[in-house]
Amino acid sequence: MWMCYVRHSPIAAGILLLLLANQPPILARGSLGGHEDPWNSERIDRLPLDVRRAVTHMCGNAARAAHYFATYFDNSRLIKLHFEHLHCDEHAQFCRGTSCLRQEYISTGGHYQLMRSYYGRDD
């Protein structure tokens, strides 16, 4: 039985260590690359056209929303908007005390219509 022993030179090991230690700092902070602004206008842009128009009418073009501003149910047939998660530059107020505006839109015939508007607990 033949056995082969390979001896790595200390120089090769040193070069490998230098290459690994000389990585750019961005690799060390990789988790920061996925950071997303909590108030984002793209969440408004992704709403169906009918709903987006209604929100823009209420808030203006500078509307920005947090993650749970719009929630979708029944394969996106029903959309619920939680206005405590909406920020407008025009200082529109959608909350009073511990209650905030809620709206529910339903898709009928390819268009979304406001089905219900009410104030619910700010949570």
Residue range 42-121 forms a domain whose CATH class is alpha beta
The pTM score is 0.69
| Other beta carbons less than 10 A from residue 15's beta carbon | 11
Please, which residues bridge with residue 99 across strands?
Answer: 96, 121
Widest distance between CA atoms in the chain = 85
In the predicted model, what is the mean pLDDT of residues 43-66? Answer: 93
- In percent, the amount of the chain with pLDDT more than 70 equals 68
Residue 24 clears pLDDT 70, i.e. is over it: no
Three-class secondary structure of residue 87 per DSSP: strand
| pLDDT tier, 13 (very low <50, low <70, confident <90, very high otherwise) | low
**Which residue from 48, 84, 55, 91 is spatially nearest to 68, judged by alpha carbons?**
84
For the record, the structure tokens of 9 come out as 């030179």
Please, which residues bridge with residue 112 across strands?
Answer: 107
